[in-house]
Chain A
Amino acid sequence: MPDIPEHLLRRSAEARAEALGVPLEQVLAEMGLTGEGETPPATLEEVTLPVQPANPDTTIPEDLRAREAAARQAAVDEFEAKATPAPPASPVVTGAPEEPAPVVEVPAPVVEEPAAVVEKPAAAAAAAAGSKIPEALLRRSAEAKAKATGRPVEEILAEMSGGAPAEPAPVVEVPAPVVEEPAAAAAVAAPPTGEPTAPAQAPAPDGDRTTTITAPPVAAPQGTPEGVRPQRLLTVVRAKAIQQVKAEPTDKVSVWPHLLLIEFVALLGVTAFLTVLSVILQAPLLDLANFNLTPNPSKAPWYFLGLQELLSYFDPQIGGVMVPTVVGLIGVMAIPYVDRNPSTKPSDRKFAIMFFTFFLVASATVTVLGVLFRGPGFNFSYPWSDGIWFDDLKDWISFE
């Protein structure tokens, strides 16, 4: 199972619950999430259920057995559906299939039920050493075991790393005839010699999800209760996504219809605006170009009038070249490389905003000056008394 973040799964479940009109808990359960969403219940039961009969005082109720069978079946089906059946003798298996121990557990985040675990200490130690289980996993397993049994972690760690023979308490030696049989059978048949120290618990207490790989059941041996399919626990591996998704999920909406609709309306609006404008206002067309008749004033297009304005104050080299290219072009292009402040919050970039606003206001001012307040000879004039000296605008504004 890919490593989908808990809150995402939960959000998905909420959405589904809302869409289907079913309670959230039901959806969560279907998705394999418990209310707390820590561990898929199927795998949990798969680990805990076989050891249930280990308690001699417990007689298994019929419905419990049926539930167990169903859960097992579901887990196995799910596993087989993934089409990645773990080979029975995979390298991570701590016991070869021929090993007499019916349940071979790798020390890993799943808490073992001591009564059901049949360990050949020497073999287990060798396996632990040989299969190179990461230190962290071993430690977590030990911690979990310690929590379950109430013993110090160090003791269990030492036991796991080879000191096992000295520690008989949680490891139950099942009598020889029973050893031949798989877990459930063994648990039912064998009277446990040791006191089960704790009931089966949830896996790793730190909440990391684990995936339990079990070998598909071969055949129910004799003595297995009806509906109970024994399985061998091969190993417990940490669930890990194939793809490590780094991006944080963000609140998004579908472009269709949300954005496209807005865009469509905007396009229609602008088209309508432009059409109406073009019906009302005639584009200027003066007399035929005449090289011998210089209009007074001669004005550039409005977006260059700011420049023309600057030219009337400064030397052409400065106003006509330096300002537009150095300030207007190179300067503006360089903004992202000069402004190294990573924040986009307006309160963090007061200087940048002030600077750019100054630039905007200055350009707007010189442009408006050039368009409206320059008359014959490019001298200052007032549009309300001296008229508009800009042909594109003549139809727009009138002071008569």
Chain B
Amino acid sequence: MADGDKTSLADRVGEVGERVRNSQAWESIFRPGSPFKKGYTDSPRNRSYVIMNNVLYHLHPVKVKRHGVRLSYTLCLGGLSFFLFILLTITGIFLMFYYRPTVPAAYADIEALSTSVAFGSLVRNMHRWGAHLMVLTVFLHMSRVFYHGAYKPPREFNWVVGVVLLLLTLLLSFTGYLLPWDQLALWAVTVGSNMAGFVPVFGDQVKFALLGGVEVTGSTLLRFYVLHVLFLPFIIVIFMAVHFWRVRKDGGISGPL
């Protein structure tokens, strides 16, 4: 391009970008107040719109108490637990493409996933370590809430919901433990479900219902699989919805101390 030519490549790219952002299609995608919309300015009104007009952000209120934003107050533990749940959902869906919950196939599928699927090993590792991390963050979140006295009225019931969420997290992790169908999985679940057998009066029935038999078998594998990928996520999402909703309705974040 000649030196005297005024339209450089950068100018042209900028021009195209400008035209795209002026287009009706682009305008239609973003709701008013979106920072991606043309002419967005930082104003109190637009700050509200960013939250109110976005399906994801709208989980948040428009404003929060100043102390709640401090990292040292929550350490993001509740939010990270939720984020890890999303991360586990995404990696879990990936794993479901390569896994069959049957005794002859399960172990081989996991082996194949680790060796012959692109990023298979990485995603499986993320799923497993992420699950451990989620148990940890949920537990730490509960401890944080306790030390801040955030379970006190009007938040008592949300604490109960939170304990249910912790239990569901443990169950999700536990049911996932069996799925690789290796020695670790088999015997860890055997030990765990033996504990369920100690339930007074109904011990044997509880264990039978959990395992789909008197001991860990192929039907246990299928049972745990369905619990792990459908039933428990379904339940936990309902409880999470209630949990988050109550956080808002009970007056937002607790404190300050």
List B112-144 residues whose CB lies under 8 Å from chain A: 114, 121-130, 132-133, 135, 142-143
Query: Nearest CB to that of B178 among chain A residues?
Result: A289
Which residues of B lie under 8 Å from residue A344 when comparing CB positions? 148-150, 152, 254-255, 257
Query: Closest approach, in angstroms, between the C-beta of B127 and any C-beta of chain A?
Result: 8
Chain B window 38-65, contacts with chain A (Cβ cutoff 8 Å), 1 for yes, 0 for no? 0000001001101100000100111111
Interface status of A288 (Cβ within 8 A of chain B): yes
Contact A288 B183 (CB under 8 A): yes
Q: A320-B195, A321-B200 are in contact. Are A360 and B57 (CB under 8 A)?
A: no
Contact A286 B182 (CB under 8 A): yes
List A313-358 residues whose CB lies under 8 Å from chain B: 316-317, 320-321, 324, 329, 332-333, 335-337, 339, 341-346, 349, 352-353, 356
Question: Which residue of A254, A275, A281, A316 has the most chain B CB atoms within 10 A of its CB atom?
Answer: A254
Chain B window 54-93, contacts with chain A (Cβ cutoff 8 Å), 1 for yes, 0 for no? 0001001111111111010000100110011001000000
Interface status of B192 (Cβ within 8 A of chain A): yes
Interface status of A282 (Cβ within 8 A of chain B): yes
7 contacts between A and B (CB under 8 A): A255-B47, A274-B129, A278-B123, A283-B124, A291-B215, A295-B183, A299-B187
**Size band of the interface chain B makes with A:** 35 or more
Query: Closest approach, in angstroms, between the C-beta of A72 and any C-beta of chain B?
Result: 35
Contact surface of A with B, Cβ cutoff 8 Å: 250-260, 262-263, 266-267, 270-271, 274-275, 277-279, 281-291, 293-295, 298-304, 307-308, 311, 316-317, 320-321, 324, 329, 332-333, 335-337, 339, 341-346, 349, 352-353, 356, 360, 391-392
Contact B152 A336 (CB under 8 A): yes
Which residues of B lie under 8 Å from residue A301 when comparing CB positions? 173-174, 177, 188, 192
- Determine chain B's interface SS by DSSP, over half rule: helix
Query: Nearest CB to that of A302 among chain B residues?
Result: B132
Which residues of A lie under 8 Å from residue B51 when comparing CB positions? 255-256
Contact B192 A304 (CB under 8 A): yes
Query: Closest approach, in angstroms, between the C-beta of B38 and any C-beta of chain A?
Result: 18
Contact A278 B125 (CB under 8 A): yes
Assembly CA distance A299 to B198 (angstroms) = 17
Interface status of B240 (Cβ within 8 A of chain A): no
Q: Identify B182's interface contact among A289, A294, A343, CB under 8 A.
A: A289
Contact B63 A255 (CB under 8 A): yes
Assembly CA distance A291 to B217 (angstroms) = 9
Assembly CA distance A252 to B256 (angstroms) = 12
Interface status of B4 (Cβ within 8 A of chain A): no
Which residues of A lie under 8 Å from residue B247 when comparing CB positions? none
Query: Nearest CB to that of B61 among chain A residues?
Result: A255
Which residues of B lie under 8 Å from residue A288 when comparing CB positions? 107, 181-183
Assembly CA distance A286 to B111 (angstroms) = 10
Contact B183 A289 (CB under 8 A): yes
Q: Identify B69's interface contact among A253, A324, A356, CB under 8 A.
A: A253
Assembly CA distance A303 to B216 (angstroms) = 20
Contact A317 B198 (CB under 8 A): yes
Q: A259-B69, A260-B60, A271-B87 are in contact. Are A300 and B152 (CB under 8 A)?
A: no
Query: Nearest CB to that of A346 among chain B residues?
Result: B257
Assembly CA distance A329 to B125 (angstroms) = 30
Chain B window 170-199, contacts with chain A (Cβ cutoff 8 Å), 1 for yes, 0 for no? 100110010011111111101110010011
Query: Closest approach, in angstroms, between the C-beta of A237 and any C-beta of chain B?
Result: 33
Assembly CA distance A346 to B66 (angstroms) = 20
Q: Identify B129's interface contact among A256, A283, A332, CB under 8 A.
A: A283
Which residues of B lie under 8 Å from residue A295 when comparing CB positions? 183-184, 187
Query: Nearest CB to that of A356 among chain B residues?
Result: B146
Query: Nearest CB to that of B161 among chain A residues?
Result: A333
Given A254-B62, A335-B151, 13 further pairs, Cβ under 8 A: A255-B51, A255-B60, A258-B64, A259-B64, A260-B57, A266-B79, A274-B129, A277-B125, A298-B188, A332-B142, A336-B152, A336-B155, A345-B149
Q: Identify B191's interface contact among A298, A339, A356, CB under 8 A.
A: A298
Contact A274 B47 (CB under 8 A): no
Which residues of A lie under 8 Å from residue B257 when comparing CB positions? 344-346
Q: A320-B198, A344-B254 are in contact. Are A291 and B83 (CB under 8 A)?
A: no
Interface status of B163 (Cβ within 8 A of chain A): yes
Assembly CA distance A341 to B151 (angstroms) = 11
Query: Closest approach, in angstroms, between the C-beta of A318 and any C-beta of chain B?
Result: 9
Q: A250-B65, A282-B125 are in contact. Are A255 and B200 (CB under 8 A)?
A: no
Q: A252-B64, A252-B66, A260-B60 are in contact. Are A329 and B163 (CB under 8 A)?
A: yes
Query: Nearest CB to that of B174 among chain A residues?
Result: A301
Interface status of B159 (Cβ within 8 A of chain A): yes
Query: Nearest CB to that of B256 among chain A residues?
Result: A344
Interface status of B210 (Cβ within 8 A of chain A): no
Interface status of B160 (Cβ within 8 A of chain A): yes
Q: A302-B132, A344-B257 are in contact. Are A336 and B156 (CB under 8 A)?
A: yes
Interface status of B241 (Cβ within 8 A of chain A): no
Assembly CA distance A137 to B185 (angstroms) = 80
Assembly CA distance A391 to B129 (angstroms) = 13
Assembly CA distance A179 to B183 (angstroms) = 108
Assembly CA distance A73 to B107 (angstroms) = 87
